Amino acid sequence: MSAIRFCLFLIFCPYRILSAPNVGSRHIGNGFHTRLEYSIDPDPASPAQCLFVWHRLPPYLYIEPDELHHLNAVILGSINIEASASQSHPFAYCFILYNSTKVPFQQTQSFSLNIHSRYLDPTVDEHQVDETLTLPEPVIHFTSKPCPYLGRGCPAPIAETGIESPRDLTVTIPVGQQNHVWFVLPVTSLFPLISCSLFFIYSGRVQK
C-alpha cells in the first residue's frame, strides 16, 4: 500500500520532491589529452539549492583558460599552456553549476572538461618511455543554502557535502631521453630557419 502511495505522489506531486545529487561520470582518452564528462541527477533524499564544483590540478596538467571562462570559473593561480611541467605550478578553479534560493535542484546538470598533459623533463633512464601520474577529479559540493559568492577567489570547499570520485584515474605521458637533448634541440631550432629561407626564396621568385 505504501508503494502505491509513493507512486501516486511521484505522478501528481513531482515538483515537491527535494533533491541531492547523484554523480555519473565518463573518462575518455589518455596521454596528452583526456576528456572528463559528468552528469548530476536529482535524488529524492535531501534538499539541494546549490551545486558547486572545486578542482585542483598538479603542475603536469592544465585546462585551456578559454574553456574555464566558458564555465564562468574563477581561477586560482596562472595557466601558461606553453610551459613544461617543471616550469609550472599547481592551480585550482571553481564554478557554480546550479544555484537557486527558491527551487531545489530538480533537473539533470552536466559539464565536461578537456584536460591536457604538459611535457615532462627528459629522463636519464634509457628504458623509460613514459610516466604514469595521477589525474585528480573535481569534487562536486552541494548544500541546502544558496551558493557562496565567488568574487575574485574560490571559497573553501564544503567538506561535509563534497562528493569525491571513488576512482583513481591516471594519465600516461611520454617522456624524452636526456641523452637525446643534444640532438633534438639543434634540429628543432633549424626548422624555423629553413622555413624562413624557403619563404624568402619563394617570395623572390613570385616578385620576378
**Tens digit of each residue's pLDDT (9 = 90 or more) over 113-159:** 999 999 888 877 778 788 888 999 998 888 887 787 777 677 777 66
What percentage of the chain reaches a pLDDT higher than 70? 70
Q: Is residue 81 part of a domain?
A: yes
Q: What CATH number corresponds to the domain at position 52?
A: 2.60.40
Q: Is residue 198 part of a domain?
A: no
The rounded Cα 46 to chain-centroid distance in angstroms is: 28
Give the per-residue pLDDT at 73.
92
Give the per-residue pLDDT at 8.
38
What is the rounded CA–CA span in Å between residue 161 and residue 167?
18
Between 75 and 181, the higher pLDDT residue? 75
Q: Is residue 161 part of a domain?
A: yes
pLDDT tens, 82-113? Answer: 888 889 999 899 998 888 878 878 888 899 99
pLDDT score of 65 more than 80:
yes
What is the grid cell recorded at 92?
A: 585550482
Total domains in the fold of the chain = 1
pLDDT score of 20 more than 80:
no
Q: Is residue 204 part of a domain?
A: no
Give the per-residue pLDDT at 63.
94
pTM (predicted TM-score): 0.70
Name residue 60's amino acid.
Answer: Y
Domain that holds residue 22: 15-192
Helices (H), 28-160: 65-70
Q: Is residue 201 part of a domain?
A: no
